[in-house]
Amino acid sequence: MNNEHSEWEDKMKEKPFSNNHFTPQMIKHVEDRVRTQTPFFKRWMIYTAALPVLAGILFLGYHIWDRVPEQQPLTQAVNTEDVPASEEVEVVTFPSTNGEEVQLPLQITKAELSLDNSDLAGNNDTESFKLAEMSYKIPPEMKDKLQAVLVYRTDMIGGYLLLAPIGWEASAIVGANGSYGVTLTDPSNKEQTLVYSDTAGSCQGCAISSIGTYFPDKAGWADEQGFTVYDPLSFTEWSQPGTAGEDARTAFYTTSVKEGYYHKGVAYYEKDAGGQWYLFRQLKFKLSEEQQVRDDRHDIVMDFFEAHHGPLIVSSVNAESINNAIPVKMDPGTILTYRLDPESKLTYDLKYDKSYVRSQQPQVNEEAVDIEGRAAEDAYIESLKESVKDLPVIDLGYDLPAPAPGIVVMYGSDGYINRVYNEDENAVNENP
């Protein structure tokens, strides 16, 4: 270690370290390094000077862009090659409260059948519908807030029309017992719905219990019929448009909030003179408690329903099929009469006789529903479905006459034919 230290001391005494001098070789080397680094140094100086300019341009551009936000959507325009051509929107024309016309978009929905009767005469396409001239007046400011909803089914000729908030999506169904309805859902909040339901005279217990629920003064009567209202509703609003006739069987209501939502709707019921037949229908909003501010859309939707004591019934134009063959099934209570028009061509008239339908309804009694027995029957039927699913199906058909002038066809409460006769002759067929 001492020898190495001594040698190092000797080296330090030599040039360039002695007297702080550099050798010529080292000076030349340093000069060469400076020359090679000069271009980099110049570039660095240029970049340094340019940075403030670039920052100023970016700052100016940002503030100019920020001042014209209305042009931003233009930069997000979707390539037209990727956008399908818009479909023509069906509309329904209503008279306006200001004397002009209001056109509402029309949503057409096919009801799903719990029992497949699609082979029967009915609506197989939406072009067969012909909407009558509307008489209900719509405020002009509702043009972009409401829509008309047409619901049809393939096992019957005809449909029904409701109003609903625009954009709400419809889904309709027909129950196995004949009751039917449609649900419209708010796409922005799937919990918010508009539901129309109709017992259609099929379930008397359902109708009576509903009457007792939505008409509190009828709760005692429902209890006497054997359908006690065990869970009465709490109404914050309840009113009737009148005290006689159909108005006395109509009620507007609003329920109290429960789990963040409340219901607002209109209910209506019918009965025959003997009190043996009842029908209940209602249109009901389910709304978030955050939307308890009065909404004109809701009022007009319910008022349209109240004006018709239900939905507006719509007939379909299916003259060719009816003229060629007597339909096996029609709307309950339909009376189909064939005749000749002024040009001696075969045509027909359709009427709806409610009293005829009601006369066929079973009498209401106080016997309690056998829930366990019903469940056992349903289980037995389900057990048979698997064993018979592959058996051949034989269509026995109906022995019906060909359409001719004077032929009258009467349809029962289930929509099927009860009687066929000629106005000028005796009955042709009854309960085929």
**Is 159 within the bounds of a domain?**
yes
Asked if 160 contacts 89 with a C-beta cutoff of 8 angstroms, the reply is no
Residues 147 and 290 in one domain: yes
**Is 32 within the bounds of a domain?**
yes
Look up residue 251 and give its amino acid.
Answer: A
- What domain range is 18 assigned to? 2-66
Residues 217 and 309 in one domain: yes
Residues 296 and 344 in one domain: no
Measured distance CA(192)–CA(186) in Å, rounded: 6
- More reliable by pLDDT, 144 or 328: 144
**Is 139 within the bounds of a domain?**
yes
Residues 209 and 231 in one domain: yes
Residues 173 and 276 in one domain: yes
Residues 178 and 241 in one domain: yes
Residues 169 and 223 in one domain: yes
Q: What is the pLDDT of residues 340-389, one digit of tens each?
A: 878 888 887 777 665 544 554 454 444 555 677 777 887 887 777 777 77
**Is 72 within the bounds of a domain?**
no
**Is 406 within the bounds of a domain?**
yes
- More reliable by pLDDT, 322 or 163: 163
Residues 334 and 304 in one domain: no
**Is 77 within the bounds of a domain?**
no
Q: Which percentage of the chain shows pLDDT scores above 90?
A: 39
Measured distance CA(60)–CA(69) in Å, rounded: 15
Q: What is the pLDDT of residues 216-250, one digit of tens each?
A: 999 999 999 999 999 999 999 999 999 999 999 99
Query: Per the structure block, which two tokens stand in for 12?
Result: 């330090």
Cis-peptide, bond into residue 16, ω within 30° of zero: yes
